[in-house]
Amino acid sequence: MTESSAEFYALLPVQDAFTGIADLSNFTAMPDDWCVIIADVMNSTTAIRDGEYKAVNITGVSVITSVLNVTRPLDIPYIFGGDGATLCIPGSLEAPVREALIATRSMTQRQFGLILRIGMVPVSAIRSAGFTTLVARHRISAYFIQAAFAGGGLEYAERIIKNDSVISPFRIHEHDESFLADYSGLECRWDNIPSKRGEIIALIVKAVAGSLEQETDIYSEIISKIQKIYGDDELSRPVYKDGLHTTLNSEKLKYEFMTRTCNKGRFGRIKYWLSMRLQILLGRVLMKYGINAGDVDWSMYQDDLVRNTDFRKFDGTLREVLSGTSEQRRLLTLYLEDRYKKGECVYGLHVSDAALITCLIHNRSGSHYHFVDGADGGYAMAASHMKDQIKTLS
């Protein structure tokens, strides 16, 4: 692999407007010597119904964290999907990333009883099957640049990895308890964030059209309609400063604790538990009084957190978590239902009263990223709804 291929994603231009994801000219084809990683929790629906939606969420983020801690400082594209994640890596990193994924699957099953399905599909194999993997970069904030995908390549990779009736050479089946993964930076210390407008929706929309160009036209119209109904980012964003409160509740902190201490002995677990709670208490003081400490301006930390959230994204499917009213949801549902009946899209929507965030902290002076979902399993439940619609179209 050439150095230029490994640096491919980092060198792409950055789109400042989210509407740019509906313009195919902003996307670039992924090099053939890269791989697409698919990871999803097979028993997520059952876990969510049992109240374990935080375990499902932290599993998706643990996949991202374990891979990024292998690939850093190389910049790679990834998307958090609620009950899983999608990432792309240069093929030269396949071996160490594979070990991290196997370790994460073992950790997830051991700690949470969740079954993580994982696979790695070469972009060259996706192209040979007749699909294109396109990627773009979209600026979320001064510190957070998010990936966007198009072209159908990710959907193809997902289908062959998730199809349990077919043995895929790209599905990772092996187990090795000696493999370890690094989850440094993963945190889950914020309480659920109540909607400031009444409710939170987790929305997934998939355009149905004969060509990529027609799909992007549909997405452009839908994005515009969502913004018209729900308002601009500041109105619809599910995370806001006054809604942010750290928690000392042991039941809520256990998900980070169980992930970060999965390979530690008794003393290591006690040390982490005490350190985590001390950091939370110290953070409260630093944020309350806006103290500058450790090269961090704590008066700005929560403002940066709000801006560094992935409340909307695109991976060939539009995904958004929005704060709004029941009337706004009614209007959006009427609009989407009309387009669904016309055969132009399928969609899923889940309503809750709060959002939850799982965090990835590279450093607290700006490079901290926060993965948002609706409480009670927002994206996973919306996906289940959308699958029912897909069945009616087939």
Does residue 393 form part of some domain?
A: no
Mean of per-residue pLDDT scores for the chain = 95
pTM (2 decimals)? 0.95
Query: Does residue 176 have a pLDDT over 90?
Result: no
**pLDDT tens figures, 47-99:** 999 999 999 999 999 999 999 999 999 999 999 999 999 999 999 999 999 99
Query: Does residue 140 have a pLDDT over 90?
Result: yes
Does residue 105 form part of some domain?
A: yes
- Band of residue 164 on the pLDDT scale cut at 50, 70, 90: confident
Does residue 27 form part of some domain?
A: yes
Does residue 205 form part of some domain?
A: no
- Band of residue 391 on the pLDDT scale cut at 50, 70, 90: confident
Say what the pLDDT of residue 393 is.
Answer: 72
Phi, psi dihedrals of residue 83, rounded to the nearest 5°: -110, 25
Does residue 253 form part of some domain?
A: no
Mean pLDDT of 209-235: 94
Sequence-separated (6 or more) residues with CB below 8 Å from residue 2? none
**pLDDT tens figures, 299-312:** 999 999 999 999 99
Mean pLDDT of 123-145: 96
Say what the pLDDT of residue 141 is.
Answer: 94
259 vs 45, which has greater pLDDT? Answer: 259
Crossing angle of helices 94-112 and 250-260, in 10° steps, is 140
**CATH value at residue 41:** 3.30.70
Does residue 41 form part of some domain?
A: yes
Closest C-alpha to 59, from 27, 26, 103 = 103
Mean pLDDT of 234-260: 97
Total count of domains within the chain: 1
Say what the pLDDT of residue 1 is.
Answer: 45
The answer to whether the CB of 393 falls within 8 A of the CB of 342 is no
Q: What is the 3-state secondary structure (H, E, C) of 270-306?
A: HHHHHHHHHHHHHHHHHHHHCCEECCEECCCHHHHHH
Question: 130 lies in which domain range?
Answer: 3-166
Does residue 75 form part of some domain?
A: yes
Q: What is the DSSP letter of 191?
A: P
Does residue 54 form part of some domain?
A: yes
Query: Does residue 295 have a pLDDT over 90?
Result: no
The answer to whether the CB of 276 falls within 8 A of the CB of 257 is yes
